[in-house]
Amino acid sequence: MAKKTLKEFANIALLADEIVGKIDFAGVFGRKSAVHIEVGSGKGTFLVNQAAAQPDVNFLGIEWANKYYKFIVDRVGRRGLENVRVMRTEAASFIAGNVGDETVDCFHIYFPDPWPKKRHHKRRFISAANVEQFYRCLKPAGIVNIATDHQEYFQWMGETFDGFKEKFEKVDFVKPAGATEDECAGTNFERKYIKENRAIYTTAFRKIPNKS
């Protein structure tokens, strides 16, 4: 059988430059439903398994590496998952510029690049500026779900959210339904790390609705 091309799955690939202003999730998915965004989807393992497990949820995967983006679109298309869209773009700018206030139910951030060198810490995705954006975009009681193998980055994440005690409360990490019994999140990187017997750290934060 001929290899499927991206073109065949044009309905799954969402082009960043076609989104002008705030994204209309109901229009993009063709229905009004809960919206989950995964930042840095890699090969899309979480995305496909979770979307299959929660067909009632609309999933947007954001991945900036072209190679992985194409891989995910093809994978989602071949699985016939109608509740997934994939976008190739830089997630922080897209979220800040194109995601509306209180439109997202959950952000999934699994095994983000740890940028271990001190001079690179400013590149880390979990930053005060991005936490502000999660708060703005999440619906009341919306969740940021996080997993990493990097202990020092994990600590950094906790300290970053500690700066937002009036906006986020730490809650138990609820394992996504698409993960297997042995997994926390069910991503490709996690599978690799499990084989290497590395520790996996998880955490989650819930938006405290604005009382004013």
Interface ranges with ligand SAM (CB under 6 A)? 39-42, 62-65, 68, 90-92, 110-113, 125, 187-190
Rounded Cα–Cα distance for residues 33 and 208 (Å): 21
Least Å distance between CB 187 and ligand SAM?
3
Least Å distance between CB 172 and ligand SAM?
20
Residues in contact with 79: Cβ distance below 8 Å, sequence separation at least 6, in sequence order: 48, 52
Let me know if 67 is exposed, middle or buried by CB neighbors in 10 A (0-12, 13-18, 19+). Answer: exposed
Active-site residue identified among 56, 113, 149, 172: 113
| Annotation marks residue 162 as catalytic | no
Residues in contact with 212: Cβ distance below 8 Å, sequence separation at least 6, in sequence order: none
Which of residues 68 and 154 has its CB atom nearest to ligand SAM in the complex? 68
- Helices (DSSP H) in the chain: which residue ranges? 25-29, 45-53, 66-79, 91-98, 128-137, 151-162, 188-195
**What phi-psi label fits residue 31: left (phi over 0), alpha (psi between -120 and 50 degrees) or beta?**
beta
Which of residues 92 and 171 has its CB atom nearest to ligand SAM in the complex? 92
Please identify the residue of the shown chain whose CB is closest to the bound ligand SAM. 40
Which of residues 90 and 159 has its CB atom nearest to ligand SAM in the complex? 90
Give the dihedral sign, CA 58/38/175/207: negative
Which of residues 77 and 112 has its CB atom nearest to ligand SAM in the complex? 112
Helix (H) or strand (E) holding 143: strand 138-148
Identify which of 34, 25, 205 has the alpha carbon closest to the alpha carbon of residue 109: 205
Which of residues 26 and 128 has its CB atom nearest to ligand SAM in the complex? 128
Identify which of 194, 27, 116 has the alpha carbon closest to the alpha carbon of residue 35: 27
Residues marked as catalytic: 113
